Amino acid sequence: MSTSYRFDRMEFAGSLGDLGTLLPLVMGMVLVNGVSVTGIFYSIALFYIFAGLYFAVPVPVQPMKAIGAYAIATGVTASQISASAGLICLLLALIGCTGTIDVIGRLIAKPVVRGIQLSTGILLMVRGIEMVLGNSSMQLSAKAAEPFFVLQDIGGVPLSIILGTLGLCIVLSLLGSKRYPAALVLILSGVAAGLLLIKPGLLDQLRPSFHLPQLLPFGIPVKADLTLALFVLVLPQLPMTLGNAIVANADLSHSYFGESARKITYRSVSLSMALANALAFLVGGIPLCHGAGGLAAHYKFGARTGGSNLIIGALFLVLAISLGPEALTLLHLVPFSILGVLLIFAGCELCLTILDITARKEMFVVFLILAVTLASNLAWGFGAGILLSWLFRSGRFSV
């Protein structure tokens, strides 16, 4: 194995850093949309492992957030979600193979990238705080801050706030520790709480056996599914994928890892995601991407080599093989509030990337993207940032 891979406790801790983004969306799309748990876990596992082996630096794996959020909110079918993965695969392969993504990347100025990173970081922190307070969409729909636990409050104080506060204290006290990595201690503490508080009988259905993914479990998408997927799921997602999952992710990777990230290019990242979504389409998973927020999370909690990808990928693969559709039940042990704490610190790390922006015009672009994102969504913020950046470059406008 190359010396660029490590498998120590810091890599293990860093590999867990992005679970706060990954698990809630996965849970939501399984419970609401009926996607294949086995297919999701296999595609996530193999995406992590492939990316770690090829890129040799930490590479995040996340659900595509615009697609996931809309799918959960509207209850689109598993077949339509599968269709969106297939269409995303084709689009990413097209722009990657033709080199179009390199042209797009050159047109996106540094302030736009930093604006995307700041906006994503703020959104992660807000989502994390919501989970600690028990106000995320899944918690509200379940009418419980910790839906899988028997206890919801202690002395009138919501359990999520208690666990979240303890989790924040753990991370703050151990953030610089290599002996006791913060993310590892945090997740293990959360699982310990889950074992004590999990609802009776919830884990009884776990029966380890051998599972393989089913090929095209929802069949080949019909024309109606493809049409809805393209216009309702894929096109709204595309600007976020270009801006955050490709350009901002590649920029951040080079900032963190320098020459070690030489294989991280706009084209290679595009094709990596195309392959992952081809697999997701075939096994009934969900659209997957890389993302600057996930990379910041892995890095914040200690990941420095591709070993972190192999660790988390192997963990998901073991769960997929041994538990199949029951794998999601095991993840109910991790409190939502603990996942929220991971998001808060990952978001903070991502926000700090704007510290190299000093020019007045560039800072204006950054904050405009943030404002538009908070008022609408990241796709509109991305578009507004590109437009303003081009206007400033023309020299006809100033601030």
Report pLDDT for 294.
Answer: 92
State pTM to two decimals: 0.90
Backbone angles phi, psi at 288, to 5 degrees: -120, 155
Count CA within 13 A, CB hemisphere, residue 159. 19
Report pLDDT for 214.
Answer: 94
Report pLDDT for 2.
Answer: 44
Give pLDDT < 70 ranges for the chain: 1-3
Residue 220 CA to chain centroid, in angstroms? Answer: 27
Report pLDDT for 1.
Answer: 39
Residue 94 and residue 100 in contact, taking contact as beta carbons nearer than 8 Å = yes
Per residue in 55-99, pLDDT (tens digit) is 999 999 999 988 988 888 788 999 999 999 999 999 999 999 999
Q: How close are the terminal C-alpha atoms of the chain, in Å?
A: 53
Report pLDDT for 3.
Answer: 53
**Residue 146, Ramachandran bin (φ over 0: left; ψ between -120 and 50: alpha; else beta):** beta
Count CA within 13 A, CB hemisphere, residue 76. 24
